Amino acid sequence: MMWIRPMKTTHIIAYLVTNTNVSSKRTTQSLVRTAAFSPQASYVRLSTIPLIQVHRMLSPRKIITKQHMSFYGRQDEGGIMNIDRAAMMEIIEDVVNSSREESGYVIIDVRGHDEIQSTGKLNDVVVTLPLPYIAQGALAMDEEDFKEAFGFEKPQLDETLVFSCKAGIRSNQAGQLAKMAGYSNVLNYMGGSNEWFS
């Protein structure tokens, strides 16, 4: 098993150099999830990909594949990756410093509008989609209908959905529903607004 200490997670991207037909940076980034967090003091685990080179790069697109999602931390029984406050802060920083499109993240707060009004949003880049709407099939809606109903672009299947709620329970449920809707890259911020605003 190989571990490296990243200089800055948002500036690292791994490239496959063998056993692949990678023809573009976008394809490579879709295959390799870089700069993720492990329980071992934020080291990046690279053992699942043979013979890689690590290069520094500004604002790589953050796409997680199934084999690399474990970098983030503990995987629950439903295959959702749980992240902590430090990881959530870095994800938000990525989106703030680039954009949703460039970062590849869609950060979704599944609390009710009244709850969010009470505490405020985690950040301006966080969108609101209450859990009941997800349970009713919001993620299966037509893109135009979705935008009209909720005020932001429907997440694409290749984007990474990052769910948050009050304490990690509803956001985990939202993650399970997202996976059922065809989204494979799903993260759950365990601490939620309780931790964020503490």
Active site residues: 165
**Count of residues making up the chain:** 198
How many angstroms separate the Cα of 115 from the Cα of each of 118, 121, 124, 173? 5, 9, 16, 18
Cα separation of 140 and 155, whole Å? 10
Cα separation of 147 and 166, whole Å? 24
Whether the CB-CB separation of 174 and 163 falls below 8 Å is answered with yes
Contacts of 162 (CB under 8 A, 6+ apart): 83, 88, 91, 105, 106, 107, 108, 187, 188, 189
Whether the CB-CB separation of 34 and 2 falls below 8 Å is answered with no
Q: What single-letter amino acid sits at 94?
A: D
Angle at 105 between CA 142 and CA 86, to 5 degrees: 145
Q: What token pair was written down for 12?
A: 């690292």
